[in-house]
Amino acid sequence: MLLGTNVLMAQTEAAAGAGGQPEAPQVDWTGVAYYLLLFFLVCLGVAVVGKILKIYDLTLKIQGKKGMKWNTVMAVLCLVFLVVGLYGAYWSFTVQGSMTLPEAASAHGVKIDEMFTVTTVLTMIVFFATQILLFTFLFNYRHSEKRRAHFLPHNNTIEKVWTIAPAIVLTILVVFGFFTWQKIMDNSDAKGEVAAINVDITGHQFAWELRYPGKDGKLGPKDFKMVSAANKLGVNFKKKSSFDDLTVDTMYLPVNRAVRLNIQAQDVIHSVYMPHFRVQLNAVPGLPTFFKFTPTITTAQMRTKLDDPKFEYLVYCNKICGGGHYNMQKVVRVVTEAEYQAWLSRQKPYLSDQLRKELHFAAADQPKTGIQNRLALNN
């Protein structure tokens, strides 16, 4: 049936080209008719089967029997569903489960994965237990004229047990979750720790812009009012820390060093999502957010692990942001410290020649000698 779709319903690229004009393109009514006919035939089949069942039922009744035992049929179907469903779930877990993300490539990601495993084990026990109970009860206690249901309005002991048991399990999950969460979201540098590398990532429709600090390790402040063609991010050059900032194309990160993403958006909400590092935080216009993490596996190592020479870590956008939302990516490369330094030394300063010119004009309008001096010094 799926093959039939490809052949009949979908048109080839050639047809798409023909339909380029605003005029209504040729509709392949045969394809549509085929599906309508198919559906009609299925309906007819259902109707025929229905009639046959009805006649069978009537014959049974004429013979003085009780007619179709639909309760039993449904009870058996419930049992069949349980067995097939359990196998389906198992199949899904093994086949599709193996298509999920590889191991976490960041320090905190390992903790998230551990918690995920614990939660999965606990919930899956409940899942299988309750679904099995549900459908076996349906089969076991299917209707019978001969007996009555067991009158059991309540049982306080068992109700207390199944109130307290989930409460305890959830408390454990909450406590671990709470402390892990606090730790992950703490983006400050602890005393004695090597300062994290600040990386500025700004989202706009539909791309990410990156900015690295220069030798001072500090990112210059931004102001949306200073945005111009040459100063896309609106970096404020009234501040000294802005002058050595670098503009980069790919996010290079040294392995095993803490990175602090300085996340912001210019137009609408975006979301920095780096699933391999278990990193996600929204980029919100007017509200800078921060996420600190430590990559632990280099891109090269990951390529060997996954046996995929083309593998790249990526930043996705994970908050609906408009028509191009589905293709807003940025490559992230985790490299060794030496490679990182080499790469960093090749990057261009954010303060491009064009921007210099622009600022020069601005400076001519308003006397800002200080900035001009510094500009000159930097030359």
Partner 1 sequence: MSTLAVHDHGVAHHDDHGHEHHHNQSFLSKYVFSMDHKMISKQFLITGITMAVIAMILSILFRIQLAYPDKTFPLLTTLLGRFAPNGRISADFYLSLVTIHGTIMVFFVLTAGLSGTFANLLIPLQIGARDMASPFMNMLSYWFFFIASLIMLSSFLVQKGPASGGWTIYPPLSALPKAMPGSGMGMTLWLISMVFFIASSLIGGINYVSTVLNMRTKGMDLWKMPLTIWALFLTAILGMLAFPVLVAGVVLLIFDRSFGTSFYLSDIVLNGVQQPYEGGSPILFQHLFWFLGHPEVYIVIMPAMGISSEVMSVNSRKPIFGYHAMVYSLIGITVLSFIVWGHHMFVTGMNPFLGGVFMITTLIIAVPSAVKTFNWLATLWRGNIRFTPAMLFAIGMVSFFISGGLTGIFLGNATLDINLHDTYFVVAHFHLVMGSAAIFGMLAGVYHWFPKMFGKMMDEKLGYLHFWLTFIGAYLVFFPMHFMGLDGVPRRYYAFTEFVSMQRWLTVNTFVTWAAIMAACAQVAFLYNFITSIFIGKKATQNPWESNTLEWTTPVEHLHGNWPGEIPTVYRWPYDYSKPGAEEDYIPQTVPYSQTMSSNLPHDFEDNPKGLEELNKFTATLKANEQVK
Site for partner 1 in 14-43 (CB under 8 A): 15-16, 19-20, 24-28, 31-32, 39, 42-43
Binding of residue 181 to partner 1 (CB under 8 A): yes
User: CA triplet 60, 63, 65: central angle to 5 degrees?
Assistant: 60
Beta-carbon-side half-sphere exposure of residue 360 (alpha carbons within 13 Å): 9
Q: Which of residues 54-113 bind partner 1 (CB under 8 A)?
A: 70-71, 74-75, 77-78, 81, 85, 88-89, 92, 96-97, 99-101, 109, 111-112
Residues 209 and 93: their CA atoms lie apart, in Å, by 38
Q: Which amino acid is at 128?
A: F
Site for partner 1 contains 303 (CB under 8 A): no
Strands (E), 259-355: 259-265, 270-274, 279-283, 289-293, 313-317, 330-335, 348-349
Least CB distance from residue 18 to partner 1, whole Å? 9
Largest CA distance in the chain: 109
Q: Quickly list DSSP for 201-258.
A: EEEETTEEEEEE--TT--PPPB-GGG--SS-TT-B-TTSGGGTT-EEESSEEEETTS-
Q: Which of 126, 195, 331, 342 binds partner 1 (CB under 8 A)?
A: 126
Site for partner 1 in 205-244 (CB under 8 A): 205, 224-225, 227, 229, 232, 234
Q: Give whichever of 199 and 274 is closer to partner 1, judged by the CB atom.
A: 274
According to the binding rule CB under 8 A, does residue 375 interact with partner 1?
A: no
Query: How many residues interact with partner 1 (rule CB under 8 A)?
Result: 130
Q: How far apart, in whole angstroms, are the C-alpha atoms of residue 299 and residue 204?
A: 26
One residue of 79, 107, 314, 375 binding partner 1 per CB under 8 A: 314
The mark string for 251-290 relative to partner 1 (x by CB under 8 A, - otherwise) is ---------------xxxx-x-x-xx-xxxxx-xxxx-x-
* Candidate residues 59, 130, 188, 373; the one interacting with partner 1 per rule CB under 8 A: 130
